[in-house]
Amino acid sequence: MSASEHPLGISFEFFPPNTEVGHEKLMGVRDRLAAINPTFFSVTYGAGGSTRERTFNTVNAVSNGGVCTAPHLSCVGSDRGELREILGEYREKGVKRLVALRGDLPSGMGARSELRYANELVEFVREETGDHFEIAVAAYPECHPQAENHQRDLENFARKMEAGANIAITQYFFNADAYFHFVERARAIGIEQPIIPGIMPITNYTKLARFSESCGADIPRWIRKQLESYGDDSESIQQFGTEVISRMSERLLDGGAPGLHFYTLNQADPCLKVLKNLGITSV
């Protein structure tokens, strides 16, 4: 199995570091992951103030590694003028991809946004820039945590794709059947664009459990119980996590997934270990 067998290949998400040390570490991670020739890197978005500036700086630094870089773009907390300005800057820098998200309102910001939902953001980007950007949007195999039900969530997803999105990247999950079921339902209502599974390597159970609770990603009981049994044994947690994610990723690719998008948490080793198990890299 190799990345070239999958049309959209392998991609990785980074977040903007808070410190100079974190920035230097990320550049090393970027270089190691760039060596396997990924399709693109993505960089998460911070709305307003210094976090937004860090996003711009990180996008510039990551893209200097020679891999196509897709900034996240959020409509919450920004008006049309601000979004138009951001799009202009990215076009000038040669950015060709975006990840368009609704986003969460930053703490302390009470202003309502002109664009409320991701489908409106996609429409706005298309109106402003035509087909300049390849646009990715989010998908939720286990249902968005704020959605009323699965059907409403699927309808919301369809609106984003119909607005002009090229691909979708899913929230991470640990149950391949959830992904396959979601894709089957999306195809049944006419959505034809590629839906790339999001992959979260398991390295720290406490942090993973807390984050999964907030974003609606289910950790199956058998995985939770095994991870809990390791206590503070981080080596065993990582070994087990690599095995679980490798098996799931292999099943996803064998079942027709068009690629894998890794939520790296700015770490290279957990991703590379999975890719080595898949035969996609020998590193």
The residues assigned a catalytic role are 13
From start to end of 148-219, where are the E strands? 167-172, 195-199
Q: Which residues contact 272 (CB under 8 A, 6 or more apart)?
A: 32, 33, 36, 281, 283
Which letter does DSSP use for residue 118 in this model?
A: H
Tell me the torsion sign for CA atoms 32, 35, 37, 40: positive
Which letter does DSSP use for residue 142 in this model?
A: T
Contact 38/67 with Cβ under 8 angstroms? Answer: yes
C-alpha pair distances (Å), 98 with each of 31, 56, 86, 133, 197: 21, 13, 11, 6, 17
CB atoms < 10 A from the CB of 233, how many? 11
Q: How many whole angstroms separate alpha carbon 135 and alpha carbon 137?
A: 7
Which letter does DSSP use for residue 107 in this model?
A: T
Give the three-class secondary structure for 99.
strand
Which neighbouring-strand residues pair with 263? 13
Give backbone dihedrals phi and psi of 29, rounded to 5 degrees, phi first: -60, -45
Single out the residue of 169, 197, 188 nearest to residue 257, CA to CA: 197
Joined together, the tokens standing for residue 256 give 């027709």
